[in-house]
Amino acid sequence: MSQKEVELILTRQLASYLALPIFIVDASGALVFYNEPAEIVLGLRFDETGEMPPAEWVSMWLPTDEAGKPLATESLPLMIALAERRVVHGQFWVRGRDNVGRLIDTVAFPLTGQGGRNLGAVVIFQEVSPA
């Protein structure tokens, strides 16, 4: 892991112990980590991907709306939480590396450090059954 803020390191550590899928990005939107439960949904271990810029992780899992239309990176709850520094909820489809489409329900929140430092954002998600 490249040099990161201590809060990102601690968030990654916490995520590694939790049973909910968690995806963490830094202040630039670059993927920092996703935990083992997220690996199941995404179809790929974090050790196989490592850190990557937003354009790369978005194209890897291709988030779409219910009609299959690709979502713009900036419209994803995680990226809204990062840009607007607020909690965001949303549902959308992702296609895991196993080529299975999954509807996920997400809650994203910004990581704000002492002094208002923008450190990144976290999304917690779970697969849900389509209505």
Find, among 125, 112, 113, 57, the residue nearest to 85 by Cα: 112
Q: Residue 1: inside a domain, yes or no?
A: no
Confidence category of residue 35, pLDDT binned at 50, 70, 90 = very high
Confidence category of residue 4, pLDDT binned at 50, 70, 90 = confident
Question: Quick one: average pLDDT of 122-130?
Answer: 93
**Residue 34 is part of a domain; what is its CATH number?**
3.30.450.20
Is the distance from CB of 124 to CB of 89 less than 8 angstroms? Answer: no
Instruction: Quote the number of domains for the chain.
Output: 1
Q: Residue 93: what residue type?
A: W
DSSP 55-86: HHHHHHH--B-TTSPBPPGGGSHHHHHHHH-S
Structure pTM? Answer: 0.92
Q: Residue 107: what residue type?
A: V
Q: Could you tell me the residue range of the domain that residue 32 belongs to?
A: 6-128
Q: Residue 48 contacts by C-beta under 8 Å, 6 or more apart in sequence?
A: none
Residue 130 CA neighbour count, 13 Å, CB half: 9
Flag whether pLDDT at 67 surpasses 90: yes
Q: Residue 72: inside a domain, yes or no?
A: yes
Q: Residue 18: inside a domain, yes or no?
A: yes
Q: Residue 99: inside a domain, yes or no?
A: yes
